[in-house]
Amino acid sequence: MKDLYVLNYPSPKLLNRDDLRGNYNLLEIHSTELKVQLNTILNENNILKDQLKDLNLSNEDLKRKLFNIENENQKLKDEDNRLRKQNDNLAAGMGRLQDELNYFIKTSDNLKSKYDQLLKDKDKDKDDDDINIINHHHHHHQKFSSKETWFDNDNKESTSEKSLLSEFIPSSGEEIDQTDDDYNDDGDDEWDKKSLNSLSSINTITKNIDPINESTLKEELQGIIKNRDELREKLQNVAKNESTLKEELQSIIKNRDELRVELTKITKNESTLQEELQNIINNRDELHENLTKITKNETTLKDELQNILKSRDELREELTNLTKNNDDLQEKLSIVTKTLEDLRCDHDSKKKSFENNIEKLQNELNEETLDNSRQELSTTQQELFSSRNEINSLKENLYSSQQGLDSSRLELNSTRQQLNSLQNDLGALQIYKKKEKEKIIRDKNVIEVENDLLKSQKVILQESLNKLNSENRQELPNHVDQNNEIKELKDNTKREVIRSDPPPIQRRSSKRTPNYGSQDNLGQESASIVQATLVKVEHRPQQNCYKWNFTISTNI
C-alpha cells in the first residue's frame, strides 16, 4: 500500500518550473531596479544640462561685463589722451607767450641803446626837457624789467639782462628783423601787428634821425610807452590764465590718478574674472566628461536592458513551452491517477470479495477446499504482483516521457544550431556565388574583348589576303604571257636546231667569208636567249606554287 502512494509526490519538472518562476521574478525585480537607476541617471543628466545652461548664461553675462569694462577703459584712455594733448597745447602756448615777452624786452633794450647813441652824437647843449623825457623812459624800462624778472621766476627761467643784451643787440648799421617763424599763429595776429608797427617805427627813427624831428621822436616814444603798458596788461591777463591753467592741470592730474586707481581695480577685477572664467571652463569640461561617461553608461544600460528583455522573452517562451508540457504531463498524470483509482477500487472490491469468500470457506472448510483456496490466493497474489508491475511500468513510462521531452529539447537546440550553421553556410554560398558571378562576368568581358581583338585581326588578315589574291590575280596573266613566250621561244629554238643541219666539214682556209662573223653572233645570241628562258622557267613557277599554297592554308 505504501508503494501505491509514491506518485503523489511532486516531480522534478514541477520544481524546475518553480525555480524558473523565481528566476523570472528576480529578473523583473532587477529590470525594475535598472529602470529606476536609468530614471535617476536621466534626472541627473537633466540637472547637469540645466547647470550647463546656467553656466553658459553666467559666462555670457561676464563676457558682457568685460566688454563694458573694456569700453569704459577705452573711453578713459581717450579722455586721458585728450587731456594730455590739452596740457601739451597749454605748455606750447605758455612757451610762445614767454618767447614773445622776451622778444619785446629785447626790442626795448635795443631801442634804449640806440637812443643813448643818438644822445651822445647830439650837441651837449640840449634842453632839460629832453633829459627828463629820457629819464622818464629809463624809469619805465626799469619797471618793465622788474615785471620780466617776476614772470621768469614763475616759470623757473632766470636770465640776466646783460646776456640778453649781448646776444640780441645789433650793431649800429644793422636793422632789426621784422618777421619771425615762431609768431605766425592765428590767435596772436594783434601781437604781431603791434610788434611790427613798433619795430617799423623804431627803424624809421634810427634811419631818419634829425635834430629838428625831436617832437616826432617824443610822440613815437609815447606811442611805444602806450604799447608797453598794453603789453603789461596782456601779461597780467596771461599770468591769470596761467594760474587758472595750473588749477585745471592739478584737477586733471587728480582725475588721472583717480582713473589710474580705477584702472588698477578694473585690472584686478578682470584678473579675478579671468580666473573665474577658467574655473568655469574647467568645470564645464569636467561636466562634459561626466556627461560623456553618463551617456556611455546609459548606452551600456540600454544594451543590458535589451539583452534582459530578450532573455525575458526567451524565458517566457520557455515557460509557455514548459506550461504546455506540464499540462500534458498533468493530463497524463490525471489519466494515470484515474487508472490507479480504478485499480484500487477493483483491488478493494476483490479484496472484500476474497475476504467474504475466505470467511465462507473457513466455515465450509475442507482440505480440498483449502487447497483450492490457496491456489486462488496464489492467483490473486500473482494478479496483485502483475498490477504492481503495471504501476511500475507506468512510472517508467512517465520517466521515459520526461527523458523524451529532455531529449526533444536537446534535439531542438541541436536543430537550431544546425539551422544557424546552415544559414551561415547559405550566406557563405551566396557570397561565393556572387564572387563566382563577378568572376564569370569578368571572364566574359575578357573573352568578349579577346573575341573583338581576334575579329579585328581576322578582318585585317582577310584584307591582307584579299590584297595578296588580287595581286596574284593581277600577276597571273603576266606569268601566263611569259610562259607562252617561253614556250614559243623553246619551240622556235627546237625548230631552228632541227632545221640547222651540221655544216659540211671543210678545210680551214685562211680566207674568211664575210658571213662568218654574223653567224657567230647569231649563235651567241641564241645561246644567251636559251639560258635566260631556262632561268625564268626554273624560278617563276616555284614562286606561283608558294603563293597558291599560302592562299589555300589561310582559306582552310
pLDDT of residue 392: 78
pLDDT of residue 298: 73
CA distance 426 to 434: 12
- Cell, residue 475: 600577276
At residue 393, the 3 state secondary structure works out as helix
Tens of pLDDT along 323-336? 788 778 778 777 87
Give the domain ranges of the chain.
95-170+183-273
Scan for cell 608797453, then name that residue. 228
- Is the pLDDT at 43 greater than 80? The verdict is yes
With the CA atoms of 201, 205, 211 and 216 taken in that order, what torsion angle do they form, in degrees rounded to the nearest 10? 0
- Cell, residue 285: 569640461
pLDDT of residue 134: 56
Under DSSP, the state recorded for 170 is P
Quote the mean pLDDT of the chain: 68
Altogether, the residues listed in the chain come to a count of: 556
DSSP for 483-517, written as a single string: HHHHHHHHHHHHHHHHHSPPPPP----S---TTHH
Tens of pLDDT along 136-175? 555 554 544 444 444 444 444 434 333 433 433 344 333 3
Under DSSP, the state recorded for 211 is G
Share of the chain above pLDDT 70, in %: 66
- Is the pLDDT at 513 greater than 80? The verdict is no
Higher pLDDT, 174 or 531: 531
Q: Is the dihedral of CA 465, 471, 477, 483 positive or negative?
A: negative
Which phi and psi (to 5°) does residue 461 adopt?
-65, -40
Scan for cell 583717480, then name that residue. 258
> For the chain, how long is the longest CA-to-CA vector?
220
Contact predicate 297/41, CB 8 Å: yes
Cα 275 to the center of its chain, rounded Å: 30
Range with the poorest average pLDDT among 15-19, 95-99, 477-481: 15-19
pLDDT of residue 120: 75
Q: How far apart are the first and last CA of the chain?
A: 107
- Is the pLDDT at 219 greater than 60? The verdict is yes
Contacts of 258 (CB under 8 A, 6+ apart): none
Tens of pLDDT along 269-303? 777 777 877 877 887 787 778 777 777 877 777 78
- What angle (nearest 5°) sits at the alpha carbon of residue 202, between those of residues 197 and 204? 95
Higher pLDDT, 430 or 16: 430
H or E element, residue 143: helix 128-154
pLDDT of residue 168: 38
pLDDT of residue 279: 79
Label residue 325 exposed, middle or buried (CB < 10 Å: 0-12, 13-18, 19+). middle
pLDDT of residue 366: 60
Higher pLDDT, 517 or 6: 517
Contacts of 98 (CB under 8 A, 6+ apart): 151, 155, 157
pLDDT of residue 54: 81
pLDDT of residue 126: 54
pLDDT-derived band at 205 (thresholds 50, 70, 90) equals very low
- Cell, residue 101: 615777452
CA distance 50 to 56: 10
Higher pLDDT, 15 or 429: 429
Closest CA to 314 of 40, 24, 2: 24
Label residue 462 exposed, middle or buried (CB < 10 Å: 0-12, 13-18, 19+). exposed
pLDDT-derived band at 432 (thresholds 50, 70, 90) equals confident
Cα 176 to the center of its chain, rounded Å: 80
Under DSSP, the state recorded for 157 is -
pLDDT of residue 526: 54
- Is the pLDDT at 371 greater than 60? The verdict is yes
How distant, in Å, are the alpha carbons of 164, 196, 224, 232, 552 from that of 141? Answer: 15, 20, 11, 12, 148
Which phi and psi (to 5°) does residue 511 adopt?
-90, 135
Tens of pLDDT along 478-496? 777 877 888 788 788 777 7
pLDDT of residue 555: 39
Give me the helix-helix angle, 189-207 and 12-121, nearest 10°: 20
Which phi and psi (to 5°) does residue 72 adopt?
-65, -40
CA distance 255 to 80: 9
pLDDT of residue 148: 44
Contact predicate 14/302, CB 8 Å: no
pLDDT of residue 129: 56
pLDDT-derived band at 532 (thresholds 50, 70, 90) equals low
Contact predicate 153/208, CB 8 Å: no
At residue 221, the 3 state secondary structure works out as helix
pLDDT of residue 471: 81
- Residue 554 has a CB neighbour count (10 Å cut-off) of 13
- Is the pLDDT at 466 greater than 80? The verdict is yes
pLDDT of residue 118: 76
- Is the pLDDT at 357 greater than 50? The verdict is yes
Tens of pLDDT along 232-260? 887 788 888 878 887 878 888 887 788 77
- Is the pLDDT at 25 greater than 60? The verdict is yes
